[in-house]
Each structure stands twice: as C-alpha cells, then as structure tokens.
Structure 1
C-alpha cells in the first residue's frame, strides 16, 4: 500500500471485511477524519467504545506498521482535500445544492485519479492483449454489477471482441461450465465479496481460463484467485456515510480504457474501421 495514499479510500475498500470493532473505528474515522488525525490511540479507542489494542490492530489491517503511521497518512490525505469538500462540511445536503455537487464531484475526481494511478502498465497491456486474442469473453457480476457487465460486453463487441454477459448470475454459472483455456472470464465486483461468484471461479480454474477481475478490494479470497486485478476505486461510503455502494464511475472508466486500448490492437486500420462502422453506425442506415 502507498503509505502516503488516501486512507479514507482504503477504509472504504476494506469496510466489508472488518470485524465489528474495526468497523466501528472505520466508521468513526470516515465521519471525523480531521479529529482522528490529532487523536491518540486511547482517545480514538474511547471515542469508538473499543480498546487501544483494537485501534492498533485496525491500523495494521490497513497495512500501517503503527497507529502513528496511519495517523500521519490520514493527515496528509486531509491536507490534500479540496476546498469544495470542506464547504458543505463533508455531506450532501439540499441546504447547499451547489456546494454538495462540488463535494460529490471532488470525490469522483479522486476516484478516477486514484484508479488511474493504481493501474500497472505491464499487467494492463497483458490484459488488453488477452481480451483482444480471446476466443470468448464471459463477463460475470452480481446485483447492480450485472448492468456494468452488459455495458462492458457491448463495448468490447464494438471493437471485435466476442464478449457476452448473461442477464442473471445463475446463467453466468451455467455459461462458465463451458469455458475453455483460450477464453477469458472478466469479473466485475466492487466489494470483491460474493458467494455466488465462487462457482464461476471454480469453473474457470477447472478449464485453466484466465480470470480478470475489476474490483476495489484486491485482498478478498476471490480477488486473490484472479489472474489479473484492475483496481477501481470507490468512495461511496465516504460520500454517504453508509455501506451502500451505488456508483460505478471508476468501473466504467476502466471499461472505457479497455475499449480505447483495444482499438490500438488492430494492425489493419481498414478492417478495424469496417467493424467500427458496422457496430456503431449501422443504425444510421435506417434513420
């Protein structure tokens, strides 16, 4: 982990995997980051109804050696906060619509910037080439990630990749049983947690199919089974103060990057333009 990176984003990413006491500390840090940046271990433990040992363990969960290291990184994160975020007191409110919009926008800009900064160039190039040369790309997700999977399948198909995303998780499980070694499994999951994806991973591993996962949490058991991971940062919990994940801005950003880089894989510009014209402009023939 980047020790001077955004502590709040990391907390959001691991929130679902925390113990109850750690979750209480995490929620307090998200709600009172400026206060925590000046609090001792004992003060934070008292403020959260936990223990100093729990606070220290929470810091180590975030990959910091000590609580002091985490507090220093939190202070750096706060110092980088935009003026717009401070304007509304860190919340969305109808009492200040303009300020709230700027507050949300500041978080979204950070999401995309952090997502871009975490992309490994070599791994990303390998992922693009795997998708370009795949016989078939099966896209899987659960809940509202399915809509992003359908979007990804559409975009990949536009650049000549044979991709599809079944409309239900059960259909994905069934389709995964037919995966081959020269296919690709592309999984979209912000949290990285879903029991319903386990069988899909099992089938991909049985057929030696490479697994590409787009997620905000690379430390989950499922994510650790992926061949390649692309981080897509989510700050939803920092915006709403709840555990509800509602946005796919960074996931959509990753999908669009894949689309754009896949356009560069075509050696024959004439053939590429033919495919693009067929997929993107075909409807205009009937306008």
Structure 2
C-alpha cells in the first residue's frame, strides 16, 4: 500500500504552479530522485542551478520547515517507491493494439486511485464527512467531466435522503449559489481549481455562509486556497487521454469515500432509505 503524503507525487502535481526557480528544483528532484537524500542543500542548489535560499523556499512551499525534514520525507517516499515498484502512466498511441489499450487504460486508472490515496489528507476527509453529516442540503458544482462526477455525487447522497442537486452549467450554478444559506454544503469539483464559473459560484457561496468543499488536483489553485475544506487527488493526464480519464476516476473515488463515510456513520438511521431505493429499483428492473 502506498504511504500517505507521498512527496514525489506532490512535487509532480504541484510543479506547473511553482515559480520558475522552484520549478527548476522540482524538475531536478523528479529527474534524479535517488540522488537527492545524499546531497547537501548547497549541492542541490548547484545542480539545479539555483541557490541555497531558493531550495529552502521550495521546501517551505512543499510544507516543510527546513531541508532536513524535507529529505526525511523524500527518503520515505523513495523507500515506498522501491518496495512497490509502481507502474508508470502509459500514453495511448495511434494504432495501438486493442490488448495494449485495455491494459494501459486499466493500469492508468488504477494508478490514479493509488496516487490519490497517497496524497489525500485524512483530516480534511474527516472534516468533509462531518460537514456532510450535519447538513440536510448538499449542492455540487462542476463543469464538463467534473460535472459527471457531480451527477454521481447527487445520485449517491440522494439515496440516503439528503436534499442534493448537481449544477453543471455556469448560469444554473450562479442561481444555485445565490440561494445557498448558512448550514448548507457546497461541493466544488474542478480538476484545475481555476475554472472561472466555479470560482464565481464559490465567491457567492462563501458570502452566503455555506460550508465549501473543494475537490481538485493537488497543487496551488484559487479554489483550494479559498475553500473551507480541500480534498485533493493525483492523476497525470497525458497527451491522448483527452477524456480526463484518470482525473475522473480519482474524483469519483473521493466521492465514493465521502458517501461511504457518511453512510457508515449514519447507517442505523439511513439503512431504511437504502433499502427502499434498492427495492423500488429492483422491482422496476423485474417489470422491465
């Protein structure tokens, strides 16, 4: 099982949002991960063509007080990597044999889930489950592939008698956000965390006092910085995987975790709703 808070995955996911100097350090670390634990701060600065101060700033950006604690965490990540030897993401090439496509897509999706489990913050998950348990009204906001994830969340939480709706276009999102009140929970699903329509709805939701939960890729983004609770996932979208395959699977996994967390904690009171919905759907299928 992958260790929690895998530093290498975090560096990879946050790289594009770093300053140009920090990005040089990140790229050197990712290209030479096994060497880094043996380097002094001066050596890493030299090899990455930066400075001691830049390396320290990079460590702080990654959430560490200093270089030593950064190296300890990186060593742990490398130990996990060596032990598990995880498969790399595989791009889909024109003309690939179907057997290759089947294998690569399945492996990429599985790796997205494993990587997400490595970096997701369990404390933030617990906060999200608590907020979802205490509210009776949940609103999901997402566009495109993220909107599909919102629909999945709507379907799941509606089954346990939560007042729940998903809004997947900009105009309806503004209307829904305007009607939110204190005690409501607004879940914002966005791969980039910088989608304009999502940020507009977030701004209104915050002003209305709703509890805001961000589900977004690990890294710096306005959505992550401004939301009350932040749930991050990890997935590497590569050239031909234009359908946001990995990120969608990772986000759906987080939605499943939230639903299971709420349903497990409240099973005594919600099992009647699960049974009712199961029975009515089963009856309809038999008639069909």
Q: Do both proteins adopt the same fold according to a TM-score greater than 0.5, normalized to the shorter chain?
A: yes
Bigger shift: residues 102-111 or 186-195 = 102-111
Whole-Å Cα distance in 1 between the matches of residues 220 and 124 of structure 2? Answer: 17
Q: CA deviation at 1:34?
A: 1.2
> Given the two structures, how large is their TM-score scaled by the length of structure 2?
0.75
Q: Could you tell me which residue of structure 1 aligns to residue 97 of structure 2?
A: none
Q: Contact (CA 8 Å) 2:160, 2:273: kept in 1 or not? A: no
Q: CA deviation at 1:124?
A: 4.1
Q: Is residue 208 of structure 1 aligned with residue 209 of structure 2? A: yes
Whole-Å Cα distance in 1 between the matches of residues 105 and 177 of structure 2? Answer: 43
Q: Contact (CA 8 Å) 2:142, 2:168: kept in 1 or not? A: no
Q: 1:34 to 1:269 in 2, by over 3 A?
A: closer
Q: Secondary structure at the match of 1:267?
A: helix
Q: Is residue 109 of structure 1 aligned with residue 114 of structure 2? A: yes
Q: Any unmatched runs of 5+ in structure 1?
A: none
Q: Could you tell me which residue of structure 2 aligns to residue 54 of structure 1?
A: 54
Aligned length: 271
Q: Could you tell me which residue of structure 2 aligns to residue 196 of structure 1?
A: 197
Q: Could you tell me which residue of structure 2 aligns to residue 173 of structure 1?
A: 174
Q: Contact (CA 8 Å) 2:10, 2:219: kept in 1 or not? A: no
Q: Contact (CA 8 Å) 2:139, 2:166: kept in 1 or not? A: yes
Q: 1:169 to 1:286 in 2, by over 3 A?
A: farther
Q: Contact (CA 8 Å) 1:177, 1:203: kept in 2 or not? A: yes
Q: Could you tell me which residue of structure 2 aligns to residue 234 of structure 1?
A: 234
Q: 1:271 to 1:158 in 2, by over 3 A?
A: closer
Whole-Å Cα distance in 1 between the matches of residues 44 and 247 of structure 2? Answer: 30
Q: Deviations over 1:22-55 (max 9, x none)?
A: 1222123223211233233343334333333322
Q: CA deviation at 1:192?
A: 3.3
Q: Secondary structure at the match of 1:64?
A: coil
Question: Mapping of 1:84-103 within 5 angstroms?
Answer: 85=85, 92=90
The alignment yields a C-alpha RMSD, in angstroms, of 3.6
Q: 1:191 to 1:225 in 2, by over 3 A?
A: same
Q: Could you tell me which residue of structure 2 aligns to residue 130 of structure 1?
A: 134
Q: 1:106 to 1:37 in 2, by over 3 A?
A: farther
Q: 1:181 to 1:120 in 2, by over 3 A?
A: closer
Q: CA deviation at 1:13?
A: 4.3
> Given the two structures, how large is their TM-score scaled by the length of structure 1?
0.76
Q: Any unmatched runs of 5+ in structure 2?
A: 94-99
Q: Could you tell me which residue of structure 2 aligns to residue 26 of structure 1?
A: 26
Q: Contact (CA 8 Å) 1:142, 1:189: kept in 2 or not? A: yes
Q: CA deviation at 1:122?
A: 5.1
Q: Contact (CA 8 Å) 1:141, 1:187: kept in 2 or not? A: yes
Q: Deviations over 1:70-108 (max 9, x none)?
A: 22321221011145537x7x56489xx789977975664
